[in-house]
Amino acid sequence: MLKFKKIKGNLIHPTAVINWKSLIIGTGNTIGPYVVIGNQAQWKNKKNSGKIVIGNGNVFNEYTNIHLPTSIKKKTHIGNNNYIMNSTTIDHDCFLEDDVILSSNVILGGNIHIMKNANLGIKTIVHQNQVIGSFSMIGMGSIITKNKRILPGYMYYGKPVKKIRKNILSLKKNKINDKNLKSEHVRFKKILKNI
């Protein structure tokens, strides 16, 4: 059984590497073995600028990497109740809303906004400067290239991804009707303008 230390109201494995000076964190988070939070932004010609902000109740499984932001957003943001599986990379300036699932080996390029309740399958790769719509599901091994749009409430799969069908299971589970989904599409467009 893994042993965790309780630090600032969070369970943190002793092997985790955390840049506390550049981190603002809530409580109830679990940070697993060999997680790295706050390493340099992976952008050769950009300096780090800002902080990593993590909310409450998130799970970061082993070997997850969360990088510092740059002057683009000055914040790498992880909201609440997100579940991040092993060996996932969250690059500079990314913004995860709430209740997002990133499966094993997901790679997020820099400056990606993932809206609430999105679910990215194993080994999904996302090009930088993308918005992933709320209540969407991405099939495992998919590649989201520069010009693809991942709209709220749909399932996608492929290399590059293609829209498959409405994500009925997630919409039903979260009690999202057509009116709610329409407002999420409006929000998606606003976020996309600011990426």
| Report field, pTM of the whole predicted structure over 0.75 | yes
Give me the pLDDT at residue 45, please.
87
Give me the pLDDT at residue 2, please.
85
- Of residues 127, 33, 52, 129, the one with CA closest to residue 138: 127
Per residue in 123-158, pLDDT (tens digit) is 999 999 999 999 999 999 999 999 999 999 999 999
Give me the pLDDT at residue 171, please.
96
Give Cα separations from 23 to 36, 52, 55, 121, 138 (angstroms).
Answer: 12, 5, 11, 27, 29
Domains of the chain (ranges, CATH numbers): 5-193 (2.160.10.10)
Per residue in 92-104, pLDDT (tens digit) is 999 999 999 999 9
